[in-house]
Amino acid sequence: MRLSIDPSSAEPLFDQIARSLRQALASGALRPGDRLPPAKDLAEILKVNLHTVLRAYALLRDEGLLEVRRGRGTVVVSPSEKQIDPRLSQAVAHLLMEAHRVGLTENELIRLITRSFRANIGYDSISGEGE
């Protein structure tokens, strides 16, 4: 896994790292189930601080790309095959269109979805994985 970082860039380091990892995931260089190096190790390789890598990991975790857990490390999430349902993807496309129309940012949209999801489902079925 080869990640290149430019300390002189205006783009924050944690964003650069996250973007590199996203690309590695998209290109298949990182595949589902693959374990990423411990943040401490990657930090030494990239010559950045531990927190900078942890922040990048956390970012991708919030995007649903990585599973990051204490003591265990960081693993690439396996994609579910459920998303190919045509009605679902149509609903997604429609939502994105509406979101763009009202100028929602990605973060705002994610928050909206998260809240709505929890509100609709209720908290009784979340016991599996929470905290």
Residues that bind DNA (CB under 7 A): 7, 10, 12-15, 36, 38-41, 47-52, 54-55, 57-58, 61, 68-74, 130-131
Q: Which does 102 bind (CB under 5 to 8 A by kind): a second copy, DNA, none?
A: a second copy
**CA-angle at 20, arms to 50 and 78, nearest 5°:** 90
DSSP state, 2? -
Of the candidate spans 28-36, 41-49, 56-64, 68-76, the one that interacts with a second copy by CB under 8 A turns out to be 56-64
Which residue is associated with the tokens 């265990």?
72
**Least CB distance to a second copy at residue 46 (A):** 22
Nearest to 37 by CA among 2, 79, 80, 78: 2
Q: Which does 2 bind (CB under 5 to 8 A by kind): DNA, a second copy, none?
A: none
| CA atoms within a 13 Å half-sphere pointing along the CA-CB vector of 25 | 23
Binding status of residue 27 toward a second copy by CB under 8 A:
no
